[in-house]
Amino acid sequence: MKPVSPETDDELLIRIQGGDEQAFMSLYQRRQAPLYRFALHMCGSVSVAEDVTQEVFLVLLREGCGYDPGRGTLSGYLFGVARKLVLRQVERTRGDIALESESDENTVAQLAVTDDPLIDLTRREGIENLRRAVQALPRRYREVVVLCDLEEVDYADAAVALGCPIGTVRSRLHRARALLLEKLSSERSPRRTIAWNPVRCLS
């Protein structure tokens, strides 16, 4: 007996547009978790991630939702919607925890665990350190790491979601990984705390 292949996202979307509730819930079950995690990684707020996930699927219920199969997959489109919603939320709440606004010293202290943090990356504590390091990345690098490395979205879909060419996705990911390694390795050469004692310049 030939196994029945599951419906594609596009097939489900056609049924959804015909008012099929079961198709809507099937698509939700299939796609909600990666979208929720993406939003959670990007904003660090459970409630925002929840709202973003909900709003992404509500977009599908609107006429002319903007999805064009010729430009990419539905999954990539949904990530793109989620990304825009996250950015909107971040701007609204000013809750971005991007690296630029964060103290490097704090980050270093959080990551300071072992002599070689890279060795422990697959252990529990190492996983948490790496998670924090990802969250401390600047947004444009964080989103590409979350999409491509954590959610295993392929580069083509990531390009759709981010609205940029695949080459840009790769170069950002390349740079993001370099930043992560720098952060994780900074324990090896921690910055020395310099006590600034005011002195009079006599020259």
Partner 1 sequence: MNCQEYWDTMPELDALSSGVHPHLNECAACAARMNRQRQLSAGLRAVSASDRRVGAPSRVEARLRAAFRASAGITPSPWRTPWAPGIVWAAAFVVLLALAVVVMRNGSPVAPRPAPSRGAELALATHSSDDSDSEYEGFIPLPNAARLSDTEDVNVVRVEVPRSAMLALGLEVSPERASELVAADVMLGPDGLARAVRFLDAEGL
List residues near partner 1 by CB under 8 A.
19, 21, 24-25, 28-29, 32-33, 35-37, 40, 49-50, 53-54, 57-58, 61, 118-119, 121-122, 126-127, 130-131, 134, 145, 149-152, 170-171, 173-174, 177, 180-181, 184-185
Residue closer to partner 1 by CB (options 68, 152) is 152
Smallest distance from the beta carbon of 62 to partner 1, in angstroms? Answer: 8
Smallest distance from the beta carbon of 113 to partner 1, in angstroms? Answer: 13
Smallest distance from the beta carbon of 200 to partner 1, in angstroms? Answer: 46
Residue closer to partner 1 by CB (options 2, 150) is 150
Residue closer to partner 1 by CB (options 111, 198) is 111
d(C-alpha 144, C-alpha 80), whole Å = 12
Cα angle vertex 38, ends 36, 96, to 5°? Answer: 110
Q: How far is CA 146 from CA 40, 68, 201, in A?
A: 10, 24, 50
d(C-alpha 111, C-alpha 119), whole Å = 13
Residues with Cβ < 8 Å from 81, sequence gap 6 or more? 55, 56, 59
Smallest distance from the beta carbon of 125 to partner 1, in angstroms? Answer: 11
Smallest distance from the beta carbon of 105 to partner 1, in angstroms? Answer: 23
**N- to C-terminal Cα separation, the chain:** 92
Cβ atoms 134, 142 nearer than 8 A: yes
Cβ atoms 76, 51 nearer than 8 A: no
Residue closer to partner 1 by CB (options 17, 203) is 17
Residue closer to partner 1 by CB (options 56, 160) is 56
